[in-house]
Structure formats: C-alpha cells, structure tokens
Structure 1
Amino acid sequence: MPTPQNTLKDASASSRNSAKQKSADGDIFSTLMTSFKENEAWKEASTAEDRNFRPTKSNGGRRKTPFYKIMQGMPIAVDAFRYGAIPNVKAYFLTHAHSDHYTNLSAKWDNGLIYCSECTANLITHMLGVDPKWIRPLAMNSTTIIPDTGGVQVTLIEANHCPGSCLFLFEGKQTVDAGDSAYKSQYIGSPKVFRYLHCGDFRACPQHVMHPAVKGKHIDHVYLDTTYLDPKYCFPPQPLVISACAELSARLVRGVGAEVQPTNDGKPRTMTGWFTRMDKGDKGKEKQTDLSQRTLVVVGTYSIGKERIVKAIAKALETKIYCDSRKAAILRCESDPDLESMLTTDPMRAGVHLVPLAVIASDRLEQYMERWKGVYTKVIGFRPTGWTFSAPSGTDTLPAISTVLARAQSRTFTHVNLQPQRNSSATLQIYGVPYSEHSSFFELTCFALSLDWGRMIATVNVGSESSRGKMAKWIERWDAERKKRGKVEVVHYRAPEYW
C-alpha cells in the first residue's frame, strides 16, 4: 500500500512529467506554427512580387512589401524603394547603387529618409537625381542610433561587392510591425535586443565574420545574398582571379610567353605568336616596343563594379584607363583617388578601355576597334562575370560539407587558367573571366559555418517554392554542421580577404 509520502512523490513526478510533455508539445507546436507562418509569409511575398502586378485604386496603388524587405519588429526597410511609402516604416536603407536594389528610387522620392554609405549617397544623387535632403550618408564601421526607430542602432560594414556597398548590422528591440505582412511578431514590446545582419549583395570573406561589430555576437536573423547558393557555383577566389587577369594582360601585351592548359578535346590552345611584342636592341638585348599604340585591353563592366580588375590590369601595364564621359562621372562619385589618378579623357593615352559588359563579344569588339583603326591593331577583351564559370563535368551536385570545404580550398587559379574563347583570332582575343562580386557557394558555406546565427533568410532567387526549398535544404545542412562542430569558429582561411 503506498504511503502518503510515496503518493506525494508519485504525484510530483507525474506533475513534472506532465509539465515536460506540455513543454515539449508547446515547443513542437511553436515550431510548427513558425514553419506554417513562414510558409504563408513566402506565399504572400510571391504574390507581392508578381510581375503582372499593376498599381490601381483597388489594390492601393502600390505593391505590398515582402516580409524579407522589413527588419522584423522594426520600422526599417532595406532595398525596398519599389514599394513606395511602406506602412510604419520610418527609415529606408539602401545597401548599394545597383538598379535591382534601388528600383523606383528617383528625383521624385519623398517617402522618408534614406540611409546608406557616403559613396552610395554620391552615386544616387548623381545618377538618379535624388534630393540630398532625403539622404543620410553614414560612415563605415561606426555605430549610429537611427532616429524614430525606438533606439535601433546600425553599423555599416564593407560588403566586398561594388564601391559603396555595405552590410547593415541592426541592433535593437522590436517595437512595431511595419510593412504589409499579415503575420506579426510575438516579440513586439519585449525587452529582448535583436541583432539582424542584412548582407545586401556581398562577397563573403573572413573579414566579415571577424569584424569587431559581429565577432562573438549571436545574430538572430541573417538576410543572405543567395545569388549563387548552389554547389555548381564554386568559382575561384576573387583576389586570385584579379591577379590572373593582370598577369595575363602583362604577358600578352609585353610578349612574354604564356603557358596554356589543354582544352576539353585535349588539344593545347596556343597563344604563341599572337601578341609577340619583343624586338632586339643594338646590343642583342630584348627591347619592348611602344605597345600603347598597338595593343588595347578592353574590360567589360557594369555601371558600378569590376573596378578592382580594371585597376589591377592598368597597374600591371603601367597605363591609363579610358571610358566615356558618362562612365567617368560615375567613377568619380566613388571617391577613389587611386582610380581617379588612372583615368584619362584621351583614349589614345590609355592601354585599358572600359565598356559595357555586352560589348565584350567578337562582333561588338570588332565594331569598337573600328573607332581606333590605325591606332590599335590588336585587342584583348575581358568579360568578368560569375556566370562565365561552369563546374567541371561530373561535379557532385549534393556534396558533403567537408567535401565542399576541402575541394575549394585546395584549388588555385593563375593566368594559365584563363583561356581565349574559340572565336578568338590573331587580332582579337576574348576571355571569359570567372569573376563575381557575389559570394560563391563555397564562400557562403564558410560564412554560415563561421557565424553564430539563429535564422537565415534568403533574399535572391526566392520567386519559386522549388528554388526556396533547395536553398532551405542547404541552410539546414549548414545549421546541422555547426551543431555537430559545437563551438562556432571561423573556417580556416588562406588570407583575411578570402577563404
């Protein structure tokens, strides 16, 4: 027969077990509800981004803002200018001056203050005519309290993308459900301080996770640039590609022998004799001829971006850079004294010309060279874009995390990896350069493993459920790998600028 004491013990144990079960059930329910709400929020976002949407009186005259454009619980929107005046938003942030991020921003803007880097402020004033009274430029690496946001503070971190691009680290309490989403936060009014890292567009590197504002902190939400979140996009590190372009340019223009690798059919593609530039001096020594009037290097660029490749090539050739007056005015907005010192308005003085990326095609380059007939006789064209890269045949599309890390970190990239396209000729060579100012899949993996984060939110390629599902699986794998490792540590890197 049970004693009263044993009965109390049993009742207590039963109560504890019941409480544990209720807690477990509550956690499961909370997880399910969070997952449900997130799925519904994505459906809501997909509807908002419908390409067939046309503003009318019946739909309020504006698109509804996807949830991932609003910092949860804060009156802050990032790269959300196409949505007009967003409910309860007090501060509009712009990560960088690329058109897909400032869509609908113009001289007519009057919906609220715009916060961005000083360089981006210069660019949108010049290119878009935005009235400076709406712009609040912020310094990099310093923390600022944003007015009218309930004390939220922001730190700008160099994004390693185009000039002026930055990550935003927001830190503050949740005070308001801003935006259009029907799904509200449960933490409004909570004393908890949240940290959100908005990556905009970025090329992830060790310096990001080791930045004093980020290192050692738990980041609740990471709004991630997922442009290349696919294992087939493990293109080489940015600094190595830049050096390779500069080295190849110097070798071709100065006539130094350039080794080449075999093509896919096993036949070597030789460059011998294509750009021979040496003759003999009086004493039998090799003497370089005047190349500035004979061989031209043409680099394709966007309105903003790719400047690092251009500068490296010009330095290697010890020459000036020429571009049209519109492009030159944009470059001067970037406040880069090094680049400005290289610019010239005289195309005949420049061994490097900048053109739109689309010009780097054999027919377009031939037309461009007609303008300099009798001045330049041969041309080297560089087309730098991440889409140039293609994974080797047989590449595993679902590699283990350990395989991703080992395979990518063992790779090198030099000038011999750059091959002229098949339609190149004795007077015109075009090189597709696997260069991007977005993170490769490998870099995204390193970034995710090196950071203490609670939730990652994709911001690119989110238009379809299938695409979101594929990316979500990788985010889950990153999370599992972090938990397996236990302590969050920076993935081994080859230099602070790249993994």
Structure 2
Amino acid sequence: MSVNGKVIPHTPLAVDFWQVRKCPGTRLFFLSHMHSDHTVGLTSTWSNRPIYCSSTTATLLRLKLQVKEKWIHPLELDEPYLLPMDDIGKEKLTVTLIEANHCPGSVMFLFEGYFGSILYTGDFRYTPSMLREPCLRTHTTIDVLYLDNTNCDPNRTLPSRQQATQQIKEIIRRHPNHNVVIGLYALGKESLLVELAMEFKTWVEVSFVRMQTLKALELPDVFTTEPGAGRIRVVEQSKICSANVHKWDKEQPTLAILPTSRPLVSFHPNVHVVPYSDHSSYQELEDFVSALKPTSLVPIVGKHVPASFSALLPHRKRHEILVPECVRHYMLSQPKSQLSSSANTSPRRRHFQPLLPKGVLFDSPVRGAGKSGEEATEPDATEEEMDAEVMRLYQMTYTVVHI
C-alpha cells in the first residue's frame, strides 16, 4: 500500500509518515486520520515519539492499533497549541487543527514557526466554510500548502455528498422489496448510513468489528449486529463481487451499492456505483487553492498536480528559512525512552495551559503482520540511507534554505 504521508523538510515534523528509520531527524509526529493508507508502519510497538491528533482519532488509535497511551496527545480543534522544537524550550511552533470534512476525526494541520506557515490538508472535502476558520481568515500568507489531490482530474466532475446521498435514496426507493448491501471501507461514510437508516426507518446491520468502531464514535443508535434485523447491511467493499451478488439475490432480491469516487464500472444490473466522495473534486480544489493563494503547492498523493494550478499561485518568493541550531541539535539527538520524556513534547495552549490526553483504553486484537495489502508496511531504510540522512542533518547548522 502506498504511503500518503510526508516528512516536512528542514523541520523535525512528519504527518502520516511512520517509517522512523527513513526519517531519523523527525521528533514530532502528526496523524491526520485513521485510514490505513495514512497509518502504514504505525503499530502497537510505537515508542519514544509523541503522536498528535484529534480526540476522535486518539480514541480510534487506541482501539484499532493499541498504541500506548503515553505517546498519544489529543488536541482540540480550532485551538492554537505551542509545541517545543528543541530540548531547551527556546524554539516553538504553533499548530492548529481544522476539521477536514473527510471521515470521523480527520483534520488539517496549520503549522507556524521559523519555517513560515504550512497548511497540511491530509484527506479532505473542501467546503467554503473552511475559509472562515479564524486561523485561516486572519492568516494572510500560506507559504506551503500540502494538498490532498486524490480527485485532482479536470476531466472528472463529482456531485456534492448531499447530491450523491439523494442518488442512493432514489435507487433504494425504486426497489422497495429489495434488501440493500452497501460496500464501505473500515472507516468513513457513517453519516450516510445514519441518514439512510432514518430515511427508510430500518436498522443497519454491521459486523462486530465495525460495531466496535461505531460505539467508540458514539453515533446514533441505528446499528445492529443481528443478522437480518434490518433492510440495510454494510460489508467490506471487496465483498461486492459477482459470486456474492448472485448468492444474495438468490436468498432475497438484493441491491448492492458502492459509494465511491473511484472510476468503477458496474458488473451487474443490481450493482450501483454512486460517486459519493470524501475527497475534494477538481473544482473544489481549484476554489480552495485560488482562495488561499499559497506561495507553493505540494501534492500529498504522487508528485504532480495539473499545470493549471500553477496559474493560481501568486508567484512570490518564499522567504529564506533559517534553521536554528537548537532545532538541529534536537533532530540529531536520540529520543528518550522514559515516560517522563514525553513531558518535553506535551501540547500547550497559547497561554501554556497543559492539555492532558483523554479517552478510554479499548482492548482489541493487534494487527497481524503481512495479513493483507491493507496492513502491509514498507521496508525500513538501509543503513546507507540512514547515514546519508544523518550527514544531511549535520550540515543544517544555520543553513539558509531557499524553497
């Protein structure tokens, strides 16, 4: 599985990137949301480095991956927090979490520090209300925008999620005597399920594993694990195949619905692909970039965005970045293994009021290694790659970087 995360150059920061041996200078790790392509390499054995995320993601992190409590630092949305970028308290950054409108717990990160201002969207579905967030409304310049470019194709149009939801409702209404099977990933589109349950006044049948997640999210009580209790049933997307559709239809007339922005083609008259997306459309991305006018743009998925986006940038020069010596030493030092060391990287609000981790520790099976492509991790860096990275860090003393 591809790794949809980044190490932020010339800083000790990484977002959704967990290959520690490939980024030996990284000390502060941020998790935008709990989709598996953003947690590749993050396991229950994670240690010595703090993870910052939303409160909802923190709950799912304990539930799904059993990461130890002492490394998880949940932050509230729309609150600026100060984090240390060295061991002596001299250099700090401000981070603000912004709702990403993608899946439960998903956030964007606004980083501000000696490096300027960086907005990292993670996966997101743009809405104009995002621009009214205080931290973006009052901020005049975004130096670097890390952009979720999943659907960045000018030749594809996507309806809003409200429009896609109406399409799904109409399909179900046209088949009043059919059961409905909906194919989803492990996390996401819960609001769609709740809306369908309310609209058609039925329970939504889910697996025990999914129910565990739904309970942790404290969603409305419309879900059940009892077979046959409701007209609507949720399965993993991969379960919607010819053999299963034939089997379900033989037992009871059944519709299968795939709410996804992936360009899939239906293989059966009773299989309906609906372009319901939790990622921004091309037009939404264009509106977002045009409104923010960042100095530079970095795609999160792959290495390219359409050339038309370049015309939206103001073509101003990025200011020179001075990497402080205390930050360089911080990146070269070895993380401390004692619990007390996490106090050095505890989040503090602007007024230095400590925010303690919250949540309940859940018991769940540890993910097995090598079970499926969804859980696979990339190999560690070679010793040569590590040596090269350490040498690069040594050369960063008061380095002036032009980006």
TM-score (norm 1): 0.58
Q: Deviations over 1:117-148 (max 9, x none)?
A: 11111112111121111110111222211234
State the SS of the aligned residue for 1:137.
Answer: strand
**Inter-partner Cα distance in structure 1 for 2:218 and 2:118:** 29
Letter in 2 for 1:223: Y
Verify the 8 A CA contact 1:362 1:430 in the aligned structure 2: no
| Matching residue within 235, 248, 251 for 2:158 | 235
User: Which runs of no fewer than 5 residues in structure 1 stay unpaired?
Assistant: 1-48, 52-64, 175-193, 254-274, 276-294, 391-420, 463-467, 483-499
State the SS of the aligned residue for 1:382.
Answer: strand
| Matching residue within 165, 172, 182 for 2:106 | 165
Q: Are 2:256 and 1:381 equivalent residues in the alignment?
A: yes
Q: Are 2:14 and 1:139 equivalent residues in the alignment?
A: no
| Corresponding residue number in structure 2 for 1:443 | 284
* Residues 147-296 of structure 1 aligned to structure 2 (within 5 Å): 147-148=84-85, 150-174=91-115, 194-217=116-139, 218-253=141-176, 275=177, 295-296=178-179
Kindly report the root-mean-square deviation, in angstroms, between the aligned alpha carbons of the 2 structures. Answer: 2.6
**Inter-partner Cα distance in structure 1 for 2:195 and 2:12:** 42
| Matching residue within 23, 37, 58 for 1:86 | 23
TM-score (norm 2): 0.71
**Inter-partner Cα distance in structure 1 for 2:244 and 2:264:** 22
| Corresponding residue number in structure 2 for 1:117 | 54
Deviation at 1:88, TM superposition (A): 3.1
**Inter-partner Cα distance in structure 1 for 2:21 and 2:230:** 44
Identity of paired residues, percent?
31
**Inter-partner Cα distance in structure 1 for 2:291 and 2:175:** 40
**Inter-partner Cα distance in structure 2 for 1:437 and 1:481:** 30
**Inter-partner Cα distance in structure 2 for 1:440 and 1:453:** 19
The 1:129–1:204 alpha-carbon spacing in structure 2 relative to 1, beyond 3 Å, is same
**Inter-partner Cα distance in structure 2 for 1:156 and 1:171:** 12
The 1:212–1:480 alpha-carbon spacing in structure 2 relative to 1, beyond 3 Å, is closer
Q: Are 2:185 and 1:351 equivalent residues in the alignment?
A: no
Larger Rg: 1
Q: Deviations over 1:429-461 (max 9, x none)?
A: 211011111111111111111113111111102
State the SS of the aligned residue for 2:191.
Answer: helix
**Inter-partner Cα distance in structure 2 for 1:134 and 1:368:** 45
**Inter-partner Cα distance in structure 1 for 2:134 and 2:54:** 19
**Inter-partner Cα distance in structure 1 for 2:95 and 2:42:** 22
| Corresponding residue number in structure 1 for 2:202 | 319
User: Which runs of no fewer than 5 residues in structure 2 stay unpaired?
Assistant: 317-403
The 1:232–1:480 alpha-carbon spacing in structure 2 relative to 1, beyond 3 Å, is farther
Verify the 8 A CA contact 2:293 2:313 in the aligned structure 1: no
| Matching residue within 302, 305, 313 for 1:461 | 302
Verify the 8 A CA contact 1:300 1:360 in the aligned structure 2: yes
Verify the 8 A CA contact 2:295 2:315 in the aligned structure 1: no
**Inter-partner Cα distance in structure 2 for 1:477 and 1:364:** 48
User: Which of the pair is proportionally richer in helix?
Assistant: 1
The 1:447–1:349 alpha-carbon spacing in structure 2 relative to 1, beyond 3 Å, is same
Deviation at 1:100, TM superposition (A): 1.1
Deviation at 1:318, TM superposition (A): 0.8
> How many aligned positions are there?
311
Letter in 2 for 1:242: T
Deviation at 1:222, TM superposition (A): 0.5
| Matching residue within 69, 73, 95 for 2:6 | 69
